[in-house]
Amino acid sequence: MSDQILIFDTTLRDGEQCPGASMNIREKLEVARQLARLRVDIIEAGFPIASDGDFEAVKAIASEVQGPRIAGLARCVDKDIDRAAEAVKPAGDRARIHVFLATSAIHREHKLKMAQSEILKRSVEGVKRALGYCKDVEFSPEDASRTEPEFLAEVTQAVIEAGATTVNIPDTVGYAAPHQFGALIKHLYDHVPNIKNAIISVHCHNDLGLAVANSLAAIQNGARQIECTINGIGERAGNASLEEVVMALKVRQDAFSGYQTNIDSTQIYRSSRLVSHMTGMIVQRNKAIVGDNAFAHEAGIHQHGMMANRETYEIMRAEDVGRSSELTWGKHMGHHAVGKKLEEMGYKLSEEEVRRITDQIKTLADKKKQVYDEDVTAIVEGQFSEVPQVWKLGYLSVMTGEIPTASVRLIHAEKKEPIADAGTGDGPIDAMLKTIDRITGLHGSLTDYSVKSVTRGKDAVGEVTVRVTFDSRANVSPAGGETKIVTGKGVSTDIIEASALAYLNAINRTLYEHRRTAETEKPTL
């Protein structure tokens, strides 16, 4: 058996299912390009049947991203498989269709209302239909960790006989414990005669904080593909964290002798930063590998040991995961020099975007003493979060004190004429948001507000992320009236201004999505 571990990244599918973490097509493309630079083996680009937007994103990634195989998810339903096949077709020989059907007793009885025999039949039919479109087909028995081991072995054998090239064993609800999950993978190897005709994969969730541990236990018992996400984002408590799985295998070769991945670990930190910015999912400071504190040492005894020998308190170097920054930016750089450096950093930008970014760098250089790579990264990635600006910030002034007051002037894209208003609130940000609501006619409620420093220093750029829901008065509620969380992001050396930009980004995203949905739903005559 090969000791090569394939990394199947599902940040763009399972990761994006985290509430408030949705991305537009441009953002997904940039994440996919970064995943290719990271050298993941498979990118699960989305669930094409879910929406037109998901379909277009998968198709765009399949068309434009080179290197990894591109997978589209589908239920064992004909229309799902047909739609997924159409979306991944541009990837050619790198196309993969990933079909799934639940197998556990609780799902059979309460969700599917199917007997075991029907589950077997549908699973085989789904694999065969997918094979009619491409040669690389993965099958997942959903909730495998709670499925009877004997039935799971029967399903696995049947789908491999049908032609599945990969069989994924999901711990869908994060129920498994490492010793039990490892034993389940071993059980399959012991009881499925044709198991060596397919790659065995695992997809672990983190509800008990055991996703990475379960993934590593699965590797030790024969799994050769790990499904994971950048920063461990995903449904509920998230998925196995790609960076933790990869670095565990790399650092602990004594425990995982011979196992290796294709991942370029020096791209890990950049991938983490990009996904955090695109989704608005802030990485906790003490997160393993990529958290701000991962390589920080404050205790005196630790600092003394580090000065004597870094290995006393560090099991890996910051450089191993790409955590380094050089001061190379200034207000005297021309757009050609900026464009060349951005290209070296891996960004694919139009000339107009490079010029706009150059202007922003120069403006920032006038405001702070030193401009770091992280500052520029925040500016560039802000471009990917942009949508057509229906409302643009023209002027902002706030006063604190006994009665916090905000004066705001916004510019409407069509009306052109500035609209100004002023108002009070419980604090300067509350006053500013209420004033924006009155001007735009939208009424948002913050479900989350976070601010972080992009770089160090008193003049550091601040990055604000907001999650907002808009009520029915805004006339932009999703179909069916369900509440949808919209994420907005803004950066500035002024936190109040960054907050205003983030809130306006959420408003513009909402208006853009509402208009696009309305156009999609127009009847064709």
Which fold, 6-279? Answer: TIM Barrel (3.20.20)
Dist CA 52 CA 64 (whole Å): 18
Dist CA 63 CA 57 (whole Å): 10
Helix, coil or strand: residue 463: strand
- Identify which of 223-237, 271-285, 327-341 has the greatest average pLDDT: 223-237
Lowest pLDDT segment from 102-111, 325-334, 434-443, 514-523: 514-523
Q: What is the band of 46 on the pLDDT scale with cuts at 50, 70, 90?
A: very high
Phi, psi of 520 (to 5 degrees): -65, -35
Q: Output 453 or 270, whichever has higher pLDDT.
A: 270
Q: Output 474 or 462, whichever has higher pLDDT.
A: 462
Dist CA 168 CA 141 (whole Å): 7
Given a contact cutoff of 8 angstroms between Cβ atoms, the answer to whether 246 and 268 are in contact is: yes
Burial of residue 73 (number of CB atoms within 10 Å: 0-12, 13-18, 19+): buried
Given a contact cutoff of 8 angstroms between Cβ atoms, the answer to whether 327 and 371 are in contact is: yes
Given a contact cutoff of 8 angstroms between Cβ atoms, the answer to whether 129 and 81 are in contact is: yes
Helix ranges (H only) for 41-93 are 52-64, 78-88
Dist CA 55 CA 500 (whole Å): 32
pLDDT at 524: 37
Dihedral sign, CA of 167, 173, 179, 180? negative
Q: Output 355 or 268, whichever has higher pLDDT.
A: 268
Dist CA 406 CA 39 (whole Å): 48
Q: What is the band of 374 on the pLDDT scale with cuts at 50, 70, 90?
A: confident
Q: Which residues of 127-162 are buried (b: 16+ CB within 10 A; e: fewer)?
A: bebbbebbebbbbbbbbbbbbeeebbbbbbbbbbeb
Given a contact cutoff of 8 angstroms between Cβ atoms, the answer to whether 146 and 106 are in contact is: yes
Domain ranges in the chain are 6-279, 335-382, 391-520
Amino acid (one-letter) located at 48: P
Q: Which of 314, 316, 350 is nearest to 335 (CA)?
A: 350
Give tens-digit pLDDT for 295-323.
Answer: 875 444 444 454 556 666 678 998 999 98
Dist CA 242 CA 290 (whole Å): 11
Dist CA 260 CA 2 (whole Å): 10
pLDDT at 519: 55
Q: Output 130 or 490, whichever has higher pLDDT.
A: 130
Given a contact cutoff of 8 angstroms between Cβ atoms, the answer to whether 389 and 488 are in contact is: no
Amino acid (one-letter) located at 319: E
Which CATH code fits 391-520? 3.30.160.270
Amino acid (one-letter) located at 97: I
pLDDT at 301: 47
Give tens-digit pLDDT for 197-209.
Answer: 999 999 999 999 9
Dist CA 124 CA 57 (whole Å): 28
Dist CA 147 CA 45 (whole Å): 27
How far is residue 482 from each of residues 55, 124, 470, 476, 478, measured CA to CA in Å? 22, 36, 11, 11, 6
Give tens-digit pLDDT for 88-136.
Answer: 999 999 999 999 999 999 999 999 999 999 999 999 999 999 999 999 9
